[in-house]
Structure 1
Amino acid sequence: MPIHTNVLTTVDHNRDSADMTYVYPVISRRAGGVSVGINLNPNNACNWRCVYCQVPDLKRGAPPEIELKKLEAELRGFLLELLHGDFMVKRVPPEARRINDIALSGNGEPTSAKEFADVILLIGKLMREFDLIGKIKLVLITNGSLVNRGYVQQGLKHMAGLNGEVWFKLDSATAEGMRRINGSRIGLQRVQENLRVAASLCPTWLQTCVFGMDGQAPSNEEQHAYLEMIKKLVSEEAGVKGVLLYGLARPSMQKEASRLSALPEEWLLSYANKIREAGLEVRESL
């Protein structure tokens, strides 16, 4: 298995860094170790178009058919290299030389792959083979728009037994904000319904990216709508574990890139405190 020799950093999330179709390694600033990435969208297709997305040549659409045997071979071979080879020594900084999770993220929405539930079963098989269940997490990073589909719900049920965790994207709680930030016209009621379903099937965190646009932080109206949604989720006991709040760390590859900017640390920490006051735990990544 050919592998590049450059040392990984938290700003290098290149999906081609291990010369494989579906599997790639990253150093995750949120996870705090090596995250084994699973990219089910090698054609750079997604059903959303987030303005901060780091995927070049992003297009609307769904992934091609997943070659499950190829995915299994790549993941098994890479786990062998991580656990018994010299990958950690050659490419990972000493402070991050541990496998923290297997994460389905990649270059588009993972749950748009019709084979999603089969992929989760395959990953579970290899986690058992390498005695990783209960020792690392299995993370799904998703925009949550397809949680109403049966095969996605089946996959989430499988994840729950594999120390699974859903990171459900919620960058805005207004229809205008979702159109502007995510290029999505999904209704807010559907967002909340999908979130409740996800949380009922597998431990679920909200994942929220905050940033400046045209030099302006999220408006008071945007903040208010977001905090009110948090309060509603708490009051309804929706089961959401908390919020993963983060700012811009890598440059966008979308046409809006020049309009985006990282917010001051003080702003992000202040917003995190407002979310805590609304009733949910917050983990910040500056």
Structure 2
Amino acid sequence: MADGFPVRVLRVSDHSRDSAGFTYVYPVVSRRAGGVSIGINLNPNNACNWRCLYCQVPDLKRGGPPPIDLAQLEDELATMLHQIVDGDFMQERVPVELRRLNDVAFSGNGEPTMSPEFGHALQIVERQLQAFGLLGKIKIVLITNGSQLYKPEVLDVVGQMGKINGELWFKVDRAPQDGFAVVNQVQLNRAAVIRHLIAASERCATWLQTCMFELDGALPTEVEVSAYVAFVEELKAQAPGLKGVLLYGLARPSMQPEAPRLKAAPAEWMKALAERISAQGLEVKLSI
């Protein structure tokens, strides 16, 4: 962590990008990871091509990432890994039950695959994990909306991830339909989403990442839920590398204007949905 930055115990409910005093690297304790995840933020300008209603990024704006200082990124990651592997980071910053390093995750404050430096950033992660004896022992995760997975250069990086214990979390919050997606505030094309998912799963272990919640006091309708379950069943047949579904609810407050309209879905409703998805033959990891 940066010299002189105050020690702050990490919490599941707080994924602050500045918790280590860095620009590109931030540690979090993650429900889905079940331990410490080192985040790589290639969008420090808070810009994304989507605007999900539940997004926790403050001052989110439409757009792409700025140029990345790759030397600074590598220095920050090396320092963070040193603190975790050789220092007292776990003892000082992490609750006892979560003191394990699970992954390095490309996530951050926008869509990481929009960065032209995405491939170079993966090379840095691979190099530093090798230096600390962690390559192949912990996961490298890409959390993505999948919008850039038509680009050969992005698919090449995803393919490299697949060779080094990589995992891709592909955001699908509702069954994609042609037209405007309210939850993600973008125009979607169903056929394109399917193509991108298949392309990703052919190159790297892929999970669907789905957030469910109440909007304006109402849960997703039965029509919406049935469409989502049918979509999962369809994907299972078409995407051989699809591992399952990461199903989660609201754990941290949205920073978007719609925040007052959102509420966590009841635990029993989430469990019932997880069972319906499991019945399609896919593993479900539920985080409520």
TM-score band by shorter chain is over 0.9
Structure 2 match to 1:49: 51
Among 236, 258, 277, the residue aligned to 2:279: 277
The alpha carbon displacement at 1:134 in A equals 2.1
Structure 2 match to 1:170: 172
1:128 aligns with 2:130: yes
Give the aligned residue type for 2:135.
Answer: I
Structure 1 match to 2:23: 21
Determine if contact 1:138/1:163 at 8 Å carries over to the other structure: yes
Q: C-alpha separation between the residues in 2 aligned to 1:247 and 1:178?
A: 22
Determine if contact 1:172/1:178 at 8 Å carries over to the other structure: no
How much identity, in percent, do the aligned residues show? Answer: 52
1:73 aligns with 2:78: no
Structure 1 match to 2:234: 232
Structure 2 match to 1:207: 209
Gapped regions of structure 1 (runs ≥ 5): none
**Residues 187-202 of structure 1 correspond to what in structure 2 (within 5 A)?**
187-202=189-204
- Of 2-11 and 73-82, deviating more is 2-11
The alpha carbon displacement at 1:230 in A equals 1.1
Cα 1:178–1:128 shift into 2, 3 Å: farther
Determine if contact 1:230/1:279 at 8 Å carries over to the other structure: no
Determine if contact 1:37/1:104 at 8 Å carries over to the other structure: yes
- TM-score computed with the length of structure 2 as normaliser: 0.97
Among 265, 268, 271, the residue aligned to 1:266: 268
Structure 2 match to 1:186: 188
Give the aligned residue type for 1:96.
Answer: L
SS of equivalent residue, structure 1 residue 35? strand
The alpha carbon displacement at 1:237 in A equals 4.6
Determine if contact 1:51/1:256 at 8 Å carries over to the other structure: yes
Q: C-alpha separation between the residues in 1 aligned to 2:74 and 2:166?
A: 19
Q: C-alpha separation between the residues in 2 aligned to 1:187 and 1:176?
A: 5
Determine if contact 1:177/1:222 at 8 Å carries over to the other structure: no
Runs of 4+ in 1 over 4 A off after TM superposition: none
CA RMSD of aligned residues (A): 1.2
**CA displacement 1:106-127 (0-9 Å, x = unmatched):** 0000001011111111111111
Q: C-alpha separation between the residues in 2 aligned to 1:61 and 1:282?
A: 32
The alpha carbon displacement at 1:176 in A equals 7.4
